[in-house]
Structure 1
Amino acid sequence: MSSPTGNARRFAAVPISGGGTPAGEWLRHLDPFAPLPLDQCPGLVVVAPHPDDEILGFGAAACQVAARGVEVCTVIASDGGAAWPGLPVAEQARLEESRRSESRTAAAALGLPMPDFLGLPDGKLAEHESRLADILTAILTARPAGTWCAATWRGDGHPDHEAVGRAAAVATSRTGAVLLEYPIWMWHWARPGDEAVPWRHAVRIVTNPVAVQRKRQAVASFRSQLESDAAGREPILPPHVLERLDRVGEVVFQ
């Protein structure tokens, strides 16, 4: 699959508070997608731009892979301190620590090893894309042949998500790992049949009830993103966003 054109403008044009594309529209569109054969995964590296993306986009799949005894490694590029712009340094540091802690709690809920945090600057991952690609290349080189690398989709709309997807694409091309790209914000700004989305490469995760429940528990760990901040600003992940992701489930482009 070739690298798509970035969709940051399209994401910016659809305010999160406006609701975005309803889940019901997506559910009618997902039936033709073939299932991803999780039982064929020899090893898994999940790459996320921020603490919570790894759970929102691929948490149930990672849970089911780990339950089979397959090694799962989670790499989180930034600590998420720029979720709200303009925070004082001390407050940003507290937010970063909270988000790291939330991600660890979520990993435990899914039965996953603790994630690795790279500490790259939130909101500026494109500036560190080459370094991230090198880090991921080293990680994947040390993994079994054919390891799956699940990362945010290169066309997801959020600049950090797209940068991580591009870096993962470079790393998998160097190592022979299998690239899987999971969308998160695409479900918000795109619509079924959208020409900007590589639908012919889409496959869906068939989840079991245990993984679904554990993922919901893991998502609930991210209180810093689910609640208003100290200044009363709206949550980064309002209820309608979580409901849509929960109902749509997990889909990847391969």
Structure 2
Amino acid sequence: MVAEPLIDLAARGTPERAWARWRLRRPELSLTGWRHLIVVAPHPDDEVLGVGGLIALARSRDLPVTVVTVTDGEASHPGSPTCSPSELADLRVAESRRAAAELGAEPPIRLGIGDGRIAADEAAVTGALSEVLAECGHAGAWCATTWRRDGHPDHEAVGRAAAAACAGTATRLLEFPVWMWHWATPEHPVVPASRARTLTLPGTAVDAKLRAISQFRSQILPMSADPADQPILPPHVLDRFTGNTETFFV
């Protein structure tokens, strides 16, 4: 379940400057001993917003990376006069493939679950992720996915499914927030500060992440002047993902 009815896209949310000092006070995430990174994203672009820098850094160290997108993101612009849901899905899948190339990763594995329906199909998602981990998960493997309290029902359901798939395996779970930056503050009681780790990114990883983000034109630019076609990720939202750090909960 969603922690609270938190995400108001019409609101600007918590300013990035409110989080900057908090991030820098977190211990550094160590990649020592990592042998494989599996990234599970609810929608095409979550993998880049949350862990694009980590993906680029892992690939620069020749660590294998497997990206899974649970939905094709067809519900991001309901009522759009420009794109039908199926057309939007095609756009977002293509954007995600181009973004993966910018990060040095292979195209994502697509599960094809309906956008907005992940909680209803959570058991199927858990089963599919268990199959991925059976191939990729082993000692030294980490599964990075959206935080189970992120405030978006799809994000939370994917987090739960990934946690269930990792349970009892050698693969370790790593959660990342996406919408928490928008609705919460560093003092919010649900924010697990003691579990937070910061990854400081080299300039090459930051640059790769910025190139990858720029591929998601359907999300960062208006598709038309119609209100239903306005960007889901306007500049004040993107500011939370374009710095030289990423944050994870271990």
TM-score by length of 2: 0.94
C-alpha contact 2:111 2:128 (8 A) present in aligned 1:
no
CA distance in 2, matches of 1:139, 1:111: 20
Q: Please give the residue correspondences for 1:206-221 in structure 2 after superposition, counting only pairs within 5 Å.
A: 206-221=200-215
Q: Which amino acid in 1 is paired with 2:20? A: L
Please, which of 69, 74, 78 is the counterpart of residue 62 of structure 2? 69
Shift of residue 29, structure 1, vs aligned partner: 1.3
1:99 maps to 2:92: yes
Instruction: For 2:129 and 2:50, locate their aligned partners in 1 and report how far apart those are by CA, in whole Å.
Output: 19
**Aligned counterparts of 1:165 and 1:209: Cα–Cα separation in 2:** 29
How far, CA to CA, are the matches of 2:224 and 2:4 in structure 1? 28
- The match for 1:205 among 190, 199, 202 is 199
Find the partner of 1:85 among 78, 90, 111: 78
**Greater than 3 Å deviation, 4+ residue runs:** none
Distance 1:146 1:140 in 2: 12
In structure 2, give the amino acid aligned to 1:242. L
1:141 aligns with 2:134: yes
1:126 corresponds to which letter in structure 2? Answer: A
Structure 2: distance between partners of 1:251 and 1:105: 24
Q: Matched residues, percent identical?
A: 43
Is the contact between residue 96 and residue 108 of structure 2 (CA under 8 Å) also seen in structure 1?
yes
Is the partner of 1:107 in helix, strand or coil?
helix
Give the corresponding residue for 2:249.
Answer: 253
Where does residue 46 of structure 1 map in the other structure? 39
SS at match of 1:149: strand
Number of the residue aligned with 1:225: 219
Q: SS at the partner of 1:82?
A: coil
Listed as ranges, the gaps of 5+ residues in structure 2 are none
- The C-alpha deviation readout for 1:194-240, integer Å capped at 9, x for no partner, is 11111110001110000000100100000000112346232111110
TM-score (norm 1): 0.92
Higher mean displacement: 47-56 or 136-145: 136-145
**1:165 counterpart SS class:** helix
Q: Distance in 2 between matches of 1:120 and 1:104?
A: 18
Alpha-carbon offset, residue 28 of structure 1: 1.7
Structure 1: runs of 5 or more not aligned: none
The aligned residue for residue 244 of structure 1 is 240
2:110 alignment partner AA: F
What's the counterpart of residue 108 of structure 1? 101
